[in-house]
Structure 1
């Protein structure tokens, strides 16, 4: 009889089993096994009148998994619960223990923050009980999200046709719209600056007017600028030279939030992409010597690093770069931080990005390289520069020129790709020196409105305000776009960074929520609620009392909204439904407006535009084929959907090249990979996997994401990877769904 270990993700189960040995069997729950039911009063799955008692239901897709886990648990001597090391992981462990009938007073909860052999072995040497306070905190969050999400979403759908609302989602939307209103209300103001263009022999530099008549220079218009320039007569004298050695310390190790922000600005990764890529690095990658977890747990709000890791990292820095590059261990103590586990870091500083580049996809390499550089830089010495500030005076005007020269790169030795340092060299000057070649130039400027939120700026704002948790930010951002409340796009063609623009429906949603629920949907209340959840996790507050306090405040507001919120009727087209005779109206869909019957759901007629029809019939039912718009673009499908689900394929048969496969003799054909790259391969694929190589291979390394599917198969076979793609894809979706504290 073996000892059973249950983890969340299948991708890390084999690695952990290898570390533990033959006495252990490691299996996966594939995330959450159950969730709140949708039965009972209001479909909440919560008995509000009975201390908010929840009713849980095993997810349909997890019934087979639970059945298998129960069978394995019965045959095992010991069952260990090794779900992820956060509140949601604690709740998953509790759900498993409850469903499998395990003793919850037993020390069977295993916590590790990285998937390496030493960390896993140490975790199993120090098991503990399930922390019921953490479970209560997580379940309180889930109940709050269910009540707010279900009740508000139902209200908004019935009144204004909006799709959803949420405890954190709606506050994030409010921030976006508040910023948009600030931009609309912004009044541009003119101001001027004056630069002194100084030439000394073959050197030139710029000094900026800082003070005039002893006060900070504030120039409103050209007249004032011209008057100041006219007053500057006579000599320009170097009044003072202030030289200093400036130190610039490195940034702290990554938290979830700072990782998402830095990946957004430096790698152009979305928050969702960052987290999904980091998840794979955490769970483990085959790197030639086996599957290894490359980073520590990426859902964290702590900047702390373990003593064991910092000891090895500081020794590596000294041996690789020299003693002068060794820094100190620093940590920021944030009032909002749970500090449940370490910062997000690499698991082994000796595993450089270049040494494992061939085993990683392009995105994995970019993110690992960023995390590696940030981890190492955080423990390195500050960069040093010689700084010089020169004051130049002429009558009542004081100009300042600043120079800086990097004298010691410090942490920039490893972080220079993500943080630049530019020298500004001033010529040799002496106090009292008269500068003869000086020209003054007035420049007109206009004040600019506040910037719209990019993903990085919105995440930073949410974190600073204490709204939500970093692990939820990616889902919040995704939901705002999926619900049609905000668009993420470039404001101009020349701008690189995408920013959030609220949609008309998003502004309407926020307007109604602020009209009736401003006491709850606001920054201050949402942040206070997060603090209360923290206090529940620490055993300082009773979760039932906190839920009751919230509900008694929320329910009257909801009833008032049902009574007083104006219902927006669908716009009538003046046409009648050809199927039932009711009026046709314009409805809002996920992919835009469409015309449909007002008698929905009894009548499901949807009008098709004439230009959307094609002169073809469905080969399955004989109905007409029409153009539809989906998440990934336009396609043609049967007009009788959902009764007939035929979709016309736009794939063309592979084009023969006239050459024969040298391995099996079948024709060679042109194919297109999933990434759009054309290649020549055998028509006998997958039995024959021959790929014709280019006669003149490129000098530069081919980006991993641009490889053809067939090339990836060959590479996969060479590395002896056995993970099935379909299983991996399904697991990833399940993981993403289960690892975010989603709002209904």
Structure 2
């Protein structure tokens, strides 16, 4: 009997195969798969590479809305997915000799869809006769247990996932098609604008914050405080209120000048901060952004790599609880073998391990935790995130942090000022999580009631009321979770898409003109497309599919009906929508492509253009001014407002793949580029033997082969070599 186990990724396939027995590695068209003998049975472990199948329209889309879709291999949809083809063919070929099929993809909605499609369309098997492996960590014990206790297919998750994909296609493709057609109608241009069921409502709440900030009218106000030193400790005591009338503030400031401060009352209270709950994905993303500035998608990717290495449990979870079945003591005992944690583990093992719990639960996976497997080699970023996860794990078993809160009221000529301090009594969970908690002590000197401080320094400071803060990628993901749109696995990716589409910009998120135009125009003419409430409604409907309350056909039927209504209204205003979108599109194109004033004619403006031979910079006054500057075709060029300090020409930021952004002058003749092509004495090309020469390029000098283009050997040039020539 032959059993096929399908995993989501190649490295997971290798891991599972080795856990199940002595694995023999085979290769099919460059794709590795594994064979494990189990008595008279053979287990074949093969992998997908994420989604092997993608939705596509059955026939060309002539009009919108369009709902006739089918699942096809991803490489038939996109040339970029050509690498997927041998994985699909392997599954198709090897499945012919299989008796049993097991979906061992990640136990979540996406994993269920990936496995379902691979088995249904690739293996062409009856899904009802397949099995599901459920595990939350890639450790030997858990994998063996999952294989020995196979579950039936997880139809609720499969159907919810299939419905989500189809629903996203209905919304995204039809809205994009509608906007593209409206633009084409008024401008003759074919420009694809992206929209999405979750993406566009997310952009809406980001724009609402942008508008709120833009409409905010800042008001000046004044604060008063006194400063003094005692026993080498600086103290700052603030007046009891802020002043929106400077005259009132000035009157009190004059009243306290050259006057002593008398300690009127000292209040001390014992307070506590409870230990944190275990990490779910959202909380992990927040904490890693706060401590390491990792973007949410970066955190998700690093956590996934730690999971695939068997070091942490499955990260895409909503749970803030550990199940009773999890052997917490065993994990701590294993972590004790790591020098950095051995002392903490020894302390925890003396206690009963009772974790703090959060409110959220997830039936599929527990809260994120280390598995106890010992890390072998981690990147710097992996090590940071792993340490955060381990220390959070320790902290949930600890006691509360107990501290003394001190409030000091001081009287200065009849005016009350207040200082506060915090002194730790019992470090509690801070012993394990202190560096990441953000909790700090505030030390006050010894003061006594009635004490007089003769030398104080009164201060009056002008401030201004501030608008609400801009969202950052982390707080945007948190807001999506709060609003109930997107899923734990997709939210970070949706924010990334908004950046990629040039709808938002910056760590402190600014909505671009194009982003503003899309939301503003759609909200004006078709508000349901950007409705957070409608998006949340469909999220809730998909949860009902998982709970077997409704079918995927129910939700798709409702969505079709809604979209037919939405797009009938869109068509009535198609030309008006196109005109409004065109204004914002042209404004955004100008922002992205404007380089500066032409240094050749002094009148025209320089813009990035694209020609037959790639991108270049040209003067807007062509043909009166024929200034052009070539650009490399293998990089992303971003304009700046800066000018070259050497020649005064504009500078741009050039970003090549897998390279750091580089600030470059557009002037090829700029002295900063060491403009020459000089031979190098006594040095020949290691590939072909021809002379090496120092050449010039957009980025500056480099060493290249004189027989180019026959030989394309290059190397970096050292500064001293450039100077010698």
Normalising by structure 2, we get a TM-score of 0.72
Pick from 148, 171, 183: which aligns with 2:201? 171
Pick from 359, 367, 370: which aligns with 1:333? 359
- Count of residue pairs the alignment pairs up: 592
Structure 1 residue 153: Cα displacement: 0.2
Contact 2:615-2:632 within 8 A present in 1 as well: no
Distance 1:521 1:68, change over 3 A: same
Unaligned runs of at least 5 residues, structure 2: 22-35, 38-42, 76-81, 184-190, 337-342, 596-609, 620-628, 638-653, 657-676, 694-698, 700-725
Distance 1:195 1:35, change over 3 A: same
Q: Which residue in 1 is equivalent to 2:314?
A: 297
Structure 1 residue 200: Cα displacement: 4.9
Alpha-carbon separation, structure 2, partners of 1:85 and 1:46: 33
Q: Which residue in 1 is equivalent to 2:391?
A: 373
Q: Which residue in 1 is equivalent to 2:140?
A: 117
What are the Cα deviations for residues 13-47 of structure 1, in whole angstroms up to 9, with x where unaligned? Answer: 11110110133221102222322232248489998
Distance 1:66 1:195, change over 3 A: same
Structure 1 residue 559: Cα displacement: 1.7
Q: Which residue in 1 is equivalent to 2:56?
A: 37
Pick from 88, 91, 109: which aligns with 1:69? 91
Contact 2:64-2:178 within 8 A present in 1 as well: no
Normalising by structure 1, we get a TM-score of 0.70
SS of the residue aligned with 2:436? coil
SS of the residue aligned with 1:341? coil
Root-mean-square deviation (Å): 4.2
Pick from 491, 504, 510: which aligns with 1:473? 491
Distance 1:68 1:591, change over 3 A: farther
Q: Which residue in 2 is equivalent to 1:27?
A: 46
Superposition map of 1:81-480 within 5 A:
81-99=103-121, 100-106=123-129, 108-160=131-183, 161=191, 163-200=193-230, 204-210=234-240, 217-230=241-254, 236-284=261-309, 293-307=310-324, 308-313=326-331, 319-321=345-347, 328-334=354-360, 338-348=362-372, 351=374, 356=376, 359-393=377-411, 397-480=415-498
Q: Which residue in 1 is equivalent to 2:518?
A: 509
Alpha-carbon separation, structure 1, partners of 2:152 and 2:562: 35
SS of the residue aligned with 1:330? coil
Structure 1 residue 238: Cα displacement: 3.2
Structure 1 residue 301: Cα displacement: 1.6
Alpha-carbon separation, structure 1, partners of 2:379 and 2:392: 20
Structure 1 residue 405: Cα displacement: 1.9
Contact 2:278-2:356 within 8 A present in 1 as well: no
Structure 1 residue 321: Cα displacement: 3.4
Q: Give the stretch that moved more between structures: 302-311 or 524-533.
A: 302-311
Structure 1 residue 184: Cα displacement: 1.0
Distance 1:323 1:403, change over 3 A: farther
Unaligned runs of at least 5 residues, structure 1: 211-216, 285-292, 489-497, 573-584, 595-603, 614-624, 637-651, 671-675, 677-744
Alpha-carbon separation, structure 2, partners of 1:170 and 1:383: 42
Alpha-carbon separation, structure 1, partners of 2:464 and 2:591: 40
Alpha-carbon separation, structure 1, partners of 2:120 and 2:64: 17
Structure 1 residue 385: Cα displacement: 2.3
SS of the residue aligned with 2:565? helix
Structure 1 residue 117: Cα displacement: 0.2
Q: Which residue in 2 is equivalent to 1:57?
A: 72
What are the Cα deviations for residues 471-502 of structure 1, in whole angstroms up to 9, with x where unaligned? Answer: 112321221122221222xxxxxxxxx22222
Structure 1 residue 64: Cα displacement: 3.9
Alpha-carbon separation, structure 2, partners of 1:201 and 1:299: 51
Contact 2:260-2:455 within 8 A present in 1 as well: no
Alpha-carbon separation, structure 2, partners of 1:196 and 1:181: 38
Structure 1 residue 527: Cα displacement: 2.0
Does 1:553 find its partner at 2:573?
Answer: no
Contact 1:327-1:381 within 8 A present in 2 as well: no
Q: Which residue in 2 is equivalent to 1:16?
A: 16
Alpha-carbon separation, structure 2, partners of 1:66 and 1:531: 33
What are the Cα deviations for residues 152-181 of structure 1, in whole angstroms up to 9, with x where unaligned? Answer: 001112224451100111112112211111
Distance 1:441 1:571, change over 3 A: closer
Of structures 1 and 2, the one scoring higher in RCO (CA 8 A, sep 6+) is: 1
